[in-house]
Amino acid sequence: MGKVIVITSGKGGVGKTTTTANIGASLALLGKKVCMVDTDIGLRNLDVVLGLENRIVYDIVDAVRGNCRLKQALIKDKRLENMYLLPAAQTKDKTAVSEAQMIELCEKLKEEFDYVIVDCPAGIEHGFKNAIAGADEAVVVTTPEMSAVRDADRIIGLLEAADLRNPRLIVNRIRINMVKSGDMMSVEDILEILAIDLLGIVPDDDEIVVSTNKGEPTAMNDNSRPGQAFRNIARRIDGEDVPLMVLEEKKGFFSALAKLFKS
Amino acid sequence: MSILSFLGKFFGKDTEVEASKSVAKERLRLVLVHDRVDVSEQMMDNLREDLIEVIGKYMEIDTEALEVNLTREEDGVALTANIPIVNIRRQLA
């Protein structure tokens, strides 16, 4: 029997979909059988981030309404053997799936997969409630910005009210140069404010843009720093004790020069 | 001013300016106090009822006009209550 993990954030644009894709790919790299579920009906994107957009025939709404068998709606990745996607519907109404249908769907997927990773839409409305309905655990993604941390706080409250106790936090897009100069909140600052357990930290990196352009999760690239961060996170999800990544300053000419004069 | 100290200043050695993360942290702390209260209106209702009960032991108050609010002060958040008194009970003891 597998585990259903929902990836949430409240605020849009903090990296939920990228996180979902990379955690999914990393768990598949660990040899786990993984299904990612896009619940952002009407605004689907996980298919694009994973590079599977041309292979969609049926979607989540078809699957829950019985227009097709669940297996027919699952897209099997050709690069990673154990990785599957259940895409969101793009044309249907966002209320097309109910909470009860979502719970039933998660139960079925759990029988087949080690991990079911649910990508939650932004916001706290219907789509959010649906996405968390069948989840066993929750992950909250934030960035070191006031607006993202504020929304994360709200989401943590709603998750706990829905009996998803002890959600774990991922701090995404950390710019270590700015943290060191005191112009960006550190991971410690954020943890102090939100008071929840940390699942992982991910550095801000141009590599994410490049990998999204290509439709290949950065976790599949051995040399990628954020890829390494996501692979660490996946191992922690799988119960391994992995130390936090040490983030280092980028040594550009100007930062090196600045450092010379600061010391 | 030597060129070294000028460059030092240019590259941000000057620490007089407050780091913007401290500003963000402080603003966030205040915003969250409000957010967390907004979420739990039930808590404010309970507090209002408990206040009426406790104060009612000593004085007669206008429960309709009673106001309990959290207000933002310059350096924090305050609980303010405006409780009109109708009558004060005679001390028996």
Can you tell me the distance from the alpha carbon of A96 to that of A59, in angstroms, rounded to the nearest whole number?
12
The answer to whether the Cβ–Cβ distance between A193 and B32 falls below 8 Å is yes
The alpha-carbon gap from A149 to the nearest alpha carbon of chain B, in Å, equals 8
List the domain range (segments joined by +) for residue A208. Answer: 3-262
d(CA A260, CA B11): 9
Q: Is pLDDT larger for residue A254 or for residue A173?
A: A173
Structural domains of chain B, count: 1
What is the CB-side half-sphere exposure of residue A106 using CA atoms within 13 A?
Answer: 26
- Does any domain span residue B53? yes
Q: Which chain B residue lies closest to A149 (C-alpha atoms)? A: B28
Instruction: Tell whether B4 is covered by a domain.
Output: no
Count of structural domains within chain A? 1
* pLDDT of residue A123 exceeding 50: yes
Kindly state whether residue B80 falls inside one of the protein's structural domains: yes
> Looking at residue B17, what is its pLDDT?
58
Residue A215 scores a pLDDT above 70: yes
Q: Does residue B72 sit within a domain?
A: yes
Whether residues B35 and A150 touch (CB distance < 8 A) is answered with: yes
Please compute the mean of the pLDDT values over residues A88-110 and round it to a whole number: 91
Beta strands A197-203 and A83-86 are unpaired
d(CA B50, CA A58) in angstroms, rounded, equals: 56
Task: Please name which of A97, A162, A155 lies closest in space to residue A136, comparing C-alpha atoms.
Answer: A162
A182/B contact by beta carbon, under 8 A = yes
Dmax (CA) for chain A in angstroms is 67
Query: Domain with A113 in it: what CATH number?
Result: 3.40.50.300
Tell whether ipTM is more than 0.90: no
Percentage of the residues of chain A whose pLDDT score is greater than 70: 95
Q: From chain A, pick out residues whose CB is under 8 angstroms from the CB of B7.
A: 261
Inter-residue contact A126 to A95 (CB < 8 Å)? yes
Interface test with A, best of B18, B22, B28, B34 (most A CBs within 10 A): B28
In chain B, which stretches have pLDDT less than 70?
A: 1-17, 38-40, 72, 74-76, 91-93
CB pairs under 8 A between A and B: 51
Among A168, A22, A124, A39, smallest CA distance to A83 is for A22
CA–CA separation, B20 and B22 (whole Å): 5
Q: What is the pLDDT of residues A12-33, one digit of tens each?
A: 999 999 999 999 999 999 999 9
Report chain A residues whose CB lies below 8 A from the CB of B13: 261-262
Could you tell me the residue range of the domain that residue B24 belongs to?
18-88
Window 117-176 of A, Cβ < 8 Å to B: 145-146, 149-150, 153-154, 157
